[in-house]
Amino acid sequence: MTALFDHHIHTDRSDGRVSLEDRARSVAIRPHGVSDHYPWRDKMRGEDDVLRYIDDAARLGLRVGLEFDLGVMPPLRAATRASLHYLIGAVHQLTIDGKRVAFDEAGRYLKGDRAAPFAQRDLYASPDLRRKILESMLEAVRHGIDEVGMDIVGHPTFLPLVALGDPEEMLPAEWQERFIEMCVRSRVAIELNESYRVPHREFLVRARERGALFSVGSDTHGKIGPLDRTEAMIREAALDRGAFLSGARVRRESSRI
Ligand SMILES: [Zn+2]
Ligand SMILES: [Zn+2]
């Protein structure tokens, strides 16, 4: 069985703990690229930092991506985007009615053992707020596809709502179908994220039935670990390994801008 390409890996160029040089060595463990956060505080501030990152990583023989922070990302020139091997677009916060809804706490919960209940449950009690979060998420994904030209949607169903209970209950089927349809239409790959354990099985089955493309993302910030959860997700949703990206973009159109 050929190893799947891991697109989503961080280095010390953003919040990872491993250098580009060490990442270049670990491709011997399994094929992977690097995809640091953009923007990232004092490290990935703008075009110049991104271009230096692409040069340094490519010189080491790495496939280079970026994890675009949808909604807060400063624009990059088309030429810079084109010189990346792939773009991952991901949502880490949303603004609802002028207020920032941060995903950090939900992220810690989903990455952990999930034994205790999610501490921020009460924050998301309002059905109106939940509906707005879902709509705002779809709009962020649409923006990533149509205007940023992303190739992969990173941790697609990672939302605070998913920390509240069964994702199949928290995410209406109709919302899942709209999400998947946007990706399928532009051949944007749906990431299976090892760290957050998303998307859930029913979402992946729906995506497979619509003919979606997929992508592996361990989202590691440290050492390269096994892809046990990803392999289980693939098995349980009966995904075809031939539908996974292998470190290169396959989109129908790279971007509208
Ligand atoms: Zn992320
Ligand atoms: Zn990441």
Q: Looking at residue 193, which CATH number applies to its domain?
A: 3.20.20.140
- The ligand minimizing its distance to the Cα of 10 is 2
Does some domain include residue 198? yes
Does some domain include residue 222? yes
Cα(219) to ligand 2 centroid in Å equals 5
The pTM for the full model equals: 0.95
pLDDT for 198-254, tens place per residue? 999 999 999 999 999 999 999 999 999 999 999 999 999 999 999 999 999 988 654
Please give the tally of structural domains in the chain. Answer: 1
Amino acid of residue 173: A
> Domain residues for 146?
20-243
Cα(116) to ligand 1 centroid in Å equals 23
Cα(70) to ligand 1 centroid in Å equals 10
Cα(220) to ligand 2 centroid in Å equals 7
Cα(179) to ligand 2 centroid in Å equals 20
pLDDT for 67-81, tens place per residue? 999 988 788 999 999
Does some domain include residue 105? yes
Cα(112) to ligand 1 centroid in Å equals 15
Cα(87) to ligand 2 centroid in Å equals 12
